[in-house]
Structure 1
Amino acid sequence: MKWFEIALVVLTLATGIIWLLDRLFFAKRRAERAGLLEEKEPVVVDYAKAFFPVLAVVLILRSFVAEPFRIPSSSMMPTLLIGDFILVNKFAYGLRLPISNRKFIEIGEPSRGDVVVFRPPHQPDQDWIKRVVGLPGDVIEYRENTVYVNGKALEYRPVGNGGYVGKGRGREMTGAQLLVEAMPGREHQVLEIPNLPFSDPGQGEWTVPEGEYFVMGDNRDRSDDSRFWGSLPESQLRGKAFLVWMHWDGSAGGVGFDRIGGSIR
Structure 2
Amino acid sequence: MAAKAKATEGVVETIKTVFWALVIAGVFRTLFYQPFWIPSGSMKDTLLIGDFLFVNKMAYGYSAYSCPFSACPISGRLFGSEPERGDVVVFRHPANGADFIKRLIGLPGDTVQVKDGVLWLNGQPVPQEDAGTFEEIKQPQGSQGNMPQCANDPVGQGGTCIKERRIETLPNGVRHDVLNIRNGAADNTPIFTVPEGHYFFMGDNRDNSQDSRFALPNGVGFLPAEYLIGRADRIMFSSAGRSLFYFWTWRSDRFFKAVE
Distance in 1, matches of 2:16 and 2:188, equals 54
TM-score after normalising by structure 2? 0.78
Q: Which string of whole-angstrom CA distances, capped at 9 and with x for unpartnered residues, describes residues 79-132 of structure 1? A: 0001111111011001345233536631421110000001111112x1110000
Q: CA deviation at 1:204?
A: 2.0
**Which among 255, 260, 264 is matched to residue 259 of structure 2?**
264
Q: Mark the CA change 1:143 to 1:210 in structure 2 (over 3 Å): closer, same or farther.
A: same
**Which among 178, 200, 210 is matched to residue 190 of structure 1?**
178
Q: Mark the CA change 1:100 to 1:144 in structure 2 (over 3 Å): closer, same or farther.
A: farther
Alignment RMSD (CA, Å): 2.6
Instruction: State yes or no: 1:205 paired with 2:181.
Output: no
Q: CA deviation at 1:46?
A: 3.6
Using the aligned pairs only, state the percent identity: 37
Asked if structure 2 preserves the Cα contact closer than 8 Å seen for 1:202 and 1:228, the reply is: no
1:9-20 matches, within 5 Å, as none
Q: Which string of whole-angstrom CA distances, capped at 9 and with x for unpartnered residues, describes residues 139-179 of structure 1? A: 1111211111111110000114xx22124637544321110
**More helix as a share of residues:** 1
User: 1:219 aligns to what?
Assistant: 205
**Which among 86, 94, 103 is matched to residue 113 of structure 1?**
86
Q: Using the TM superposition, name which of 172-181 and 233-242 deviates more.
A: 172-181
Instruction: State yes or no: 1:165 paired with 2:153.
Output: no
Give the secondary-structure state (helix, strand or coil) at the position aligned to 1:111: coil
Alignment length, in residue pairs? 226
Give the secondary-structure state (helix, strand or coil) at the position aligned to 1:55: helix
- Unaligned stretches of 5+ residues in structure 2: 142-146, 151-160, 216-220
Q: Using the TM superposition, name which of 212-221 and 106-115 deviates more.
A: 106-115
Q: Which has the higher contact order (CA 8 A, sep 6+)?
A: 2
Instruction: State yes or no: 1:247 paired with 2:238.
Output: yes
Distance in 1, matches of 2:167 and 2:187, equals 24
